[in-house]
């Protein structure tokens, strides 16, 4: 097994979309989603070829020598020797992800949690300290507060957007600040500008999980964040048919992470990458629909007499409304709300809904609904759940691409049962 640095796999084809010399064409995210990362191939296919292989051949020993010299010198080789170190279909997906985030490079993983865990294990060592904000995805919090301490890595949790508490928590051995925005399930918005500035002030690395936002609603790197992570399973793929994760950022950070990825084998697969590319091409259209539909649904719920409280950042009642107006282009398709009544009443409302499917996850074409107290926090006591802000009457609604009038009418008839 080679111990040299892993060079990103670059398909050895010429890009026909090269701009004329001296001419720069401004491209929006939907244009990037469709075209960036595409390289012409021997088959002249519009879709990126699915290259399903575990290993790669060499013409002869001289060819192998030349490849190894280029690899050791850090030059682009246009190929790889083994599937764990590179694949042209995966590289095409990574190029699109990097372009969408405005990043220099990106890496694809088998899941969002694999992306997060690989990044943190790469950046942190025994004796280091990281800080996370509250209200983040439960498994991310478990990783940081339960798993990492087993390896001598200390974690402190601070309230989101409490920058006084954040600065007080920073220690000489603090290496990473990690947050999520929007958060799950209360759709809190991180002030990414202040978060990035705080990290830079103390010389630590800032990481933001931007799964709920996508690059269409927020590009954290543009606000000074060092690394952005995604569960590509959600909006990026968009069809509830694959698991994937991604990390994007500066080359100096991604290159070391790429080496580490090759060592521990935290890789994706070419077939998943091909499906992800297909999903990314329609991300802009889907997210526009989901942004607009979720905003209308949130407004409807906020005015409904059977609804107790709504969490969605387009509402002025949301605690981060002002941040959203300054930094975000949209707020995604997840609306969380509580109804008047107990857990059993909440279950009746959910069971009465005709369109959304009862399931975890979000960001796909189908609307999904869940009761977090049961589907995510079932093993905790009621008092433990409520301490985390998860009451029994909380509903998380992930808006799909169905007609919003149908979704609202369906919610209205279900709420009428209360």
Q: Which residues does residue 180 pair with via DSSP β-bridges, in sequence order?
A: 209
Catalytic residue among 175, 234, 258, 396: 234
258 is catalytic: no
Side-by-side strand order, sheet with 334-339:
307-311, 334-339, 394-398, 368-370, 357-358
289 is catalytic: no
Task: Measure Cα distances from 114 to 106, 174, 178, 246, 265 in Å.
Answer: 14, 22, 15, 9, 11
354 is catalytic: no
Catalytic residue among 105, 128, 209, 320: 209
CA 269 to chain centre: 18
Catalytic residue among 84, 96, 175, 286: 84
Q: Which residues does residue 129 pair with via DSSP β-bridges, in sequence order?
A: 154, 174
269 is catalytic: no
Catalytic residue among 85, 137, 235, 312: 137
Q: Give catalytic residue positions.
A: 84, 137, 209, 234
């Amino acid at each position: 097994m080679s111990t040299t640095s892993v060079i990103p796999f670059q398909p050895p084809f010429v890009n026909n979309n090269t701009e004329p010399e001296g001419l720069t064409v401004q491209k929006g995210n939907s244009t990037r989603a469709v075209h960036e990362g595409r390289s012409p191939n021997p088959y002249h296919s519009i879709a990126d070829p699915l290259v399903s292989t575990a290993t790669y051949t060499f013409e002869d020993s001289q060819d192998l020598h030349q490849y190894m010299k280029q690899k050791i010198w850090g030059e682009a080789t246009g190929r790889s020797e083994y599937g764990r170190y590179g694949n042209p279909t995966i590289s095409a997906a990574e190029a699109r992800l990097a372009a969408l985030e405005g990043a220099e490079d990106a890496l694809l993983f088998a899941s969002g949690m694999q992306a997060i865990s690989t990044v943190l294990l790469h950046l942190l060592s025994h004796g280091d300290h990281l800080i996370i904000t509250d209200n983040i995805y439960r498994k991310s919090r478990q990783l940081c507060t339960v798993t990492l301490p087993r390896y001598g890595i200390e974690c402190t949790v601070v309230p989101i957007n409490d920058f006084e508490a954040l600065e007080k928590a920073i220690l000489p051995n603090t290496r990473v600040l990690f947050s999520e925005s929007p958060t799950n399930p209360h759709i809190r918005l991180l002030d990414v500008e202040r978060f990035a500035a705080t990290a830079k002030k103390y010389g630590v690395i800032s990481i933001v999980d931007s799964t709920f936002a996508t690059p269409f609603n927020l590009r954290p790197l543009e606000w000074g964040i060092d690394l952005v992570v995604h569960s590509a399973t959600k909006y990026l793929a968009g069809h509830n048919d694959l698991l994937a994760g991604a990390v994007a950022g500066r080359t100096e950070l991604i290159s070391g992470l790429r080496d580490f990825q090759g060592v521990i084998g935290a890789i994706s697969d070419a077939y998943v990458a091909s499906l992800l590319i297909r999903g990314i091409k329609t991300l802009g259209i889907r997210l526009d629909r989901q942004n607009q539909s979720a905003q209308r649904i949130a407004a409807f719920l906020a005015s409904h007499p059977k609804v107790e409280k709504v969490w969605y950042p387009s509402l002025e009642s949301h605690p981060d409304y002002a941040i959203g107006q300054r930094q975000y282009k949209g707020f995604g398709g997840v609306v969380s709300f509580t109804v008047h009544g107990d857990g059993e009443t909440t279950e009746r409302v959910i069971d009465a809904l005709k369109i959304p499917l009862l399931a975890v996850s979000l960001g796909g074409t189908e609307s999904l609904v869940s009761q977090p107290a049961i589907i995510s926090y079932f093993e905790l006591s009621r008092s433990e759940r409520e301490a985390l802000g998860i009451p029994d009457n909380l509903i998380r609604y992930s808006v799909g691409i169905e007609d919003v009038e149908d979704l609202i009418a369906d919610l209205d008839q279900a709420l009428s049962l209360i």
